[in-house]
Amino acid sequence: MLQNGILALRMFLTLTLLTGIVYPLAVTGTVQTLFAWRAGGSLVRVDGRVAGSDLLAQKFSAARYFWPRPSSVDYATVPSGASNQGWGSAQLEKAVTERRAGLEAGHGGQTIPADLLFASASGLDPHISPEAALYQVDRVATTRGFDAERRQKLLALIAQQTETPSWGFLGQPRVNVLQLNLALDSLR
């Protein structure tokens, strides 16, 4: 009986060592070595300070910047998630109506891209569609006092920042809002 107890304790300690210490350290070390940028949170640094993460939406609300998709969690990373409201939800309808009114006030009568009205599933999607970026061009250009030449540079910047679908066929073209706004700040 005592021998079985000792064997069980040895197995417990061995498995704890392997699965609780050796395996996590091996995986962490491998990931830190092979994918250091991603494992470190994909942090984007400007002049030595962290400007944000390439993988998480930042809350841009100033008129001089491009705005991200709405977030049902107010861009908080810990409680990320969707609102889980269905198409018949009065709360969703109210939120979309408010977003529409806010966008129409600053953008005229253009058709509003859906990704500026509805939050993403995680509430933290860092991308918008190229159409959503183009929708915001007039506001950004006017707020920054851009003349026709700089407005054309802004359009070219959006085209340059547009990412193609992954592997050429997965997903849609998209624009990372943080990267676009950082490039916008350096636009001459």
Residue 122's SS3 state is coil
CB atoms within 10 A of CB 104: 12
48 is a domain residue:
no
Q: What is the pLDDT of residues 31-51, one digit of tens each?
A: 888 877 666 778 888 888 988
Same domain, 137 and 180: yes
Q: What is the pLDDT of residues 10-33, one digit of tens each?
A: 999 999 999 999 999 999 888 888
Same domain, 106 and 156: yes
Number of domains observed in the structure of the chain:
2
In angstroms, the CA 108 to CA 112 distance is 10
Long-range contacts of 85-90 (CB under 8 A, 24+ apart): none
Helix or strand (DSSP H, E) at 121: none
Same domain, 21 and 64: no
Q: What is the pLDDT of residues 109-124, one digit of tens each?
A: 789 999 999 888 787 8
Please count the residues of the chain: 188
